[in-house]
Chains A and B, each alone.
Chain A
């Protein structure tokens, strides 16, 4: 008796039947929504680092006395440090919340990956500080920091590519590694400009591509989840 009533209740809550094509689209739209849920944190982390690098390295480049638009060096240095801290905090907070409400592989992967960004980007200035104490000059530091950031972040992209079978991340990761090892050959302060445009620019382009891919998927939906 109770089961009959339950069945009737369930049937009563069933929506009007849809065609096979609509049901297929409904399922695809829902799976895309789940994919978006897991990808949004990555998008936020990538976009944040894009802005932090683009603005931060541009500030360092402009912070030299002979630059086209000179800004005081200590302001440029402070701006850079603040942006890097914002990047680290954003990565850790957003990364650790990736897949909240899910238990299993996805949650673990997302959290470890996001926190790795924060940890790796904290490791660079800590190592740099030790090297400066050991006698690394400001000029050499200007070559070390950008290259070290590129090496850790380029590697993180390649790890991300392996985790999510994402080929576009291989391209971005390899590009950032390349920028990191080539930029120091330009010498300071030109290396800062290379980092800002080629490094930060690459993040921003990648974030824009991710966003573009997502909105294309959304526009192509026939059935919207109700």
Chain B
């Protein structure tokens, strides 16, 4: 149980998960806002989001606001649980409660 989830255990993906987990359940963040809060390039963010999406941790929804494409990213229930488990495992490794 102490093994760290490899999907989350990478700097960029941990930061993405931490950002989304800071929102309340079911809230979503647009791709540009996420990029801005993470200081990541669009390409880099997309790559890591795909990995998280493949694991079922985030859902990426594309829609249109009038003619502008909008991408909303939401942490899934599975993702929130995985993030909590990861943080618990990390704290356990450090001897924190």
Task: Determine if B27 is an interface residue (Cβ-Cβ < 8 Å).
Answer: yes
Interface residues of A in 201-226 (CB under 8 A from B): 225-226
- Pair A102/B29 contact, Cβ less than 8 Å: yes
Interface residues on A, range: 20 to 34
Please name the residue on chain A nearest to B31 by beta carbon.
A101
A interface footprint on B29-49 (CB within 8 Å = 1, 0 otherwise): 110111011110000100110
Task: Determine if B10 is an interface residue (Cβ-Cβ < 8 Å).
Answer: yes
Total interface residues in chain B, CB < 8 Å:
38
Partner among A33, A100, A106, A225 whose Cβ is within 8 Å of the Cβ of B24: A106
Contact residues of A: prevailing secondary structure: helix
Please measure, in the bound complex, the distance between the C-alpha atom of A35 and the C-alpha atom of B39, giving whole angstroms: 16
Task: Determine if B11 is an interface residue (Cβ-Cβ < 8 Å).
Answer: yes
Partner among B10, B26, B32, B33 whose Cβ is within 8 Å of the Cβ of A15: B10
Task: Determine if B78 is an interface residue (Cβ-Cβ < 8 Å).
Answer: no
- Pair B14/A31 contact, Cβ less than 8 Å: no
Q: Which residues of B contact A (CB under 8 A)?
A: 4, 9-12, 14-15, 17-19, 21-24, 26-30, 32-34, 36-39, 44, 47-48, 50-51, 72, 87, 90-91, 93-94, 96
